[in-house]
């Protein structure tokens, strides 16, 4: 058996000072250089902790007693904060959260990207960092014969029943509760993931922040929904802003929420919302940012960095349903959008038509395949915008960018670590990295989005 090199054992009780926060919001303390990750610890605090788990090279502990608290520590207002896995930073003041996110971006820029001097600006936050989510997606379960709905407990699949969530929009909470009560009344059974029996898996609600239109999605294990007519009538009567009720059928044993088959039970197949004057049709499957107020801030910053005058040709390399593309099209000569998900491209085309925007072209496919073909066909790119998933840009797309040499690259990122990695590749290929602007899209959690400007030297 390998020799235990950690300076602590499981159940060791030790005094520590927290030095840092992880991107998940855990406090980081070191014992003889050995890192311990501790929930609810904040930088600068001193505490007695108990080691609960050891891995190779690091461990986990929990706070037994706090001897010196941070001036940024606040009492979490949510009654189920410590059980629920939805938020991780409610114990840190909002000003403290914004500073922590800026520091996190600075740290990964230095550690992963090798940029000691990059200018990371202060995080752009919200005036009201609560009730900002326009989408609720909650699993349904059963306890003592009654239906429950809420987020999963941290690191488990135990559902924490809740009536309100402090980061969800109020209407979303009320509708989830109402659906839960109606389904309970009509004897609809909750899905049991251990036995793969039961009917209702998840309740999803989407709200148009600027239109107040509501979509309800019932995700079921079975094709039929017992007492469907009565359930629909009661929902529509109680919530007149509901414009769409959709059933998503998910027959599989899977953690994936939305199923392969979607059918409209009542009303339209989409709801509408606007961001910065652009109208969007949002379906049950559409990827649409969950914090509309900060989405406008994020896209506004991307538009500012693009510096469009009306003469530029822009490519949006991960265009989704066209949210950034249509934003840019208002100021660009022409915008080309590419996205690997065909359904998203259909939505993007529909959204362009909805707004009467003609100076855009959308195509389904991998960016690294489609963009070189566009260039071969004579498209001369001035600005390239990328908004990749958490894993960052595909390596072959980065190669494509370096071959094409657009004057500017605007990088919108939901993961500072992969942003730093990709910026390093572009910097080594002849680009200069300008300002990096963190934007707080998910207050009370450790997540942070960024917009970075990269220019050809």
Measured CA to CA, the distance from residue 136 to residue 273 in angstroms comes to 16
Residue 165 designated active-site? no
> How big is the CA angle at 448 (ends 53 and 408), to the nearest 5 degrees?
135
> How big is the CA angle at 419 (ends 415 and 421), to the nearest 5 degrees?
120
Measured CA to CA, the distance from residue 172 to residue 139 in angstroms comes to 14
| Residues 40 and 27 sit within 8 Å (Cβ to Cβ) | yes
Measured CA to CA, the distance from residue 339 to residue 148 in angstroms comes to 37
Measured CA to CA, the distance from residue 262 to residue 50 in angstroms comes to 48
Measured CA to CA, the distance from residue 270 to residue 289 in angstroms comes to 15
**What is the per-residue burial (b if ≥16 Cβ within 10 Å, else e) of 444-456?**
bbbbbbbbbbbbe
Bridge partner residues of 279 (DSSP)? 274
Among 165, 183, 319, 414, the active-site one is 414
**What is the per-residue burial (b if ≥16 Cβ within 10 Å, else e) of 406-441?**
bebbbbbbbbbbbbbbbbbbbbeeebebeebbbbbb
Strands 313-316 and 278-282: unpaired
User: Which amino acids are annotated catalytic?
Assistant: 414
């Amino acid at each position: 058996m390998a020799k235990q090199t950690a300076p602590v054992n499981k159940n060791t009780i030790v005094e520590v000072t927290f030095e840092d926060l992880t991107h998940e919001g855990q406090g980081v303390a070191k014992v003889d250089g050995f890192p311990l990750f501790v929930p609810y610890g904040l930088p600068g605090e001193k505490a007695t902790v108990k080691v609960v788990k050891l891995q190779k090279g690091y461990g986990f502990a929990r706070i037994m007693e706090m001897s010196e608290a941070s001036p940024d520590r606040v009492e979490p207002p949510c009654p189920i904060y410590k059980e629920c896995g939805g938020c991780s930073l409610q114990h840190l003041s909002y000003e403290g959260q914004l500073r922590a996110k800026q520091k996190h971006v600075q740290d990964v820029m230095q550690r992963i990207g090798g940029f000691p001097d990059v200018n990371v600006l202060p995080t752009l936050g919200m005036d009201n960092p609560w009730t900002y989510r326009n989408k609720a997606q909650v699993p349904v379960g059963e306890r003592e014969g009654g239906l429950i709905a809420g987020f999963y407990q941290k690191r488990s699949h135990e559902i924490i029943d809740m009536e309100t969530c402090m980061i969800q929009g109020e209407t979303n909470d009320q509708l989830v509760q109402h659906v839960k009560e109606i389904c309970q009344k009509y004897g609809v059974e909750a899905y049991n993931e251990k036995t793969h029996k039961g009917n209702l898996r998840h309740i999803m609600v989407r709200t148009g922040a600027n239109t107040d239109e509501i979509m309800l999605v019932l995700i079921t294990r079975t094709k039929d929904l017992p007492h469907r007519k009565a359930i629909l009538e009661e929902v529509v009567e109680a919530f007149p802003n509901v414009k769409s009720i959709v059933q998503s059928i998910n027959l599989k044993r899977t953690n994936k929420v939305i199923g392969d088959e979607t059918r409209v039970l009542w009303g339209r197949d989409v709801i509408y919302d606007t961001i910065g004057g652009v109208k969007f049709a949002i379906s049950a499957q559409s990827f649409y940012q969950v914090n509309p107020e900060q989405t406008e801030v994020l896209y506004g910053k991307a538009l500012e960095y693009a510096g469009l005058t009306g003469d530029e040709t822009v490519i949006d390399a991960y265009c989704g349903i066209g949210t950034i593309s249509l934003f840019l099209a208002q100021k660009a000569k022409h915008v080309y959008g590419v996205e690997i998900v065909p359904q998203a491209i259909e939505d993007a085309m529909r959204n362009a038509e909805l707004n009467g925007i003609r100076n855009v072209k959308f195509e389904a496919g991998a960016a690294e395949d489609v963009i070189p073909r566009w260039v071969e066909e004579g498209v001369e790119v001035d600005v390239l915008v990328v908004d990749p998933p958490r894993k960052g840009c595909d390596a072959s797309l980065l190669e494509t960018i370096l071959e094409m040499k657009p004057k500017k690259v605007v990088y919108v990122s939901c993961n500072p670590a992969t942003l730093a990695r990709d910026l390093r590749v572009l910097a080594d290929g002849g680009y200069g990295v300008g300002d990096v602007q963190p934007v707080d899209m998910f207050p009370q959690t450790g997540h942070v989005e960024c917009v970075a400007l990269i220019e050809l030297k």
